[in-house]
Structure 1
C-alpha cells in the first residue's frame, strides 16, 4: 500500500507566489527521488476552531493562509530511501530555495494509507 507524508503550514499571503515557486521546485526533487505525486492546497474554507483547528495548530496569523500538502510515495521503503536524498539535494537547501513561511510552525507526519477508493 502507498505511503503519505502530510504537511500543514501557515504561509504569509504576500508569499503565495513564492510558495508556489518553492513547491514546484521541491515537487520536482521529490518526484526524482521516488514520490508519485506532490499535492499543494491553499486554504479556502478553513474555519477557526474553539478547541482545535488547522489555524490554531499552526498559529495562523491574520495575514496568513493555511496550506495543506501531501506527498504520495509507492511505499514506506521508497520514502525511507528517497527522503534523505531529497533533504540533502542542493536545490532544496535554504540558501538556494528558502521556505517562504515559518518552518517552526510546520506540522508534518508520515501515514500508512488505509483506504484509497
Structure 2
C-alpha cells in the first residue's frame, strides 16, 4: 500500500466547484489503479501557537482547509498514474476554467504505511 496526501485551502464560495474537480480526479485516480480516494472539508481546524494546517498552506481567513488522500496498491501504480497525468491522459471533461484553489499553496507528499488498523 502507498498513500498520496494533499492539503490545500479553498474559498467557501468555491466549495461546489472544488467538489466537481475532486470528483473528476477521484474517478480518474480509480481508473488508474487507486484503491480508495478521500476528500475532506474543514470542520474544525484549530489555530496552533507554532504551526498548524492553516499556516502550512498559508490559508487566508476566508478559506477552508481541505485535505485528501489516495490509497494506491503500490508506488509503481502511482508512478504510472503520475506519468499519465503528466501527458494529460484522460483529462477530457475536466471542469473548465481556473482551478477553484491556489495550487501554489497546495502541499503534497507520498507515504508508506507503518501501521494500519480498521477496515
TM-score, with normalisation over the residues of structure 2? Answer: 0.89
For residue 91 of structure 1, give the secondary structure of its aligned residue in structure 2: coil
Partner residue, 1:60: 59
Deviates more, 1:63-72 or 1:79-88: 79-88
Structural RMSD (CA): 1.9
How many residues are paired up? 116
| Structure 1 unmatched ranges of 5 or more | none
User: How far is 1:97 from its partner?
Assistant: 6.4
1:19-52 deviation digits (Å, cap 9, x = unpaired) = 0000000111111111111100001110111111
Instruction: Provide the TM-score with structure 1 as the length reference.
Output: 0.90
In 2: Cα distance, 1:34 partner to 1:58 partner: 28
2:48 paired residue number: 49
SS in 2 for 1:30: helix
Distance 2:3 2:115 in 1: 12
Structure 2 unaligned residues grouped into runs of 5+ = none
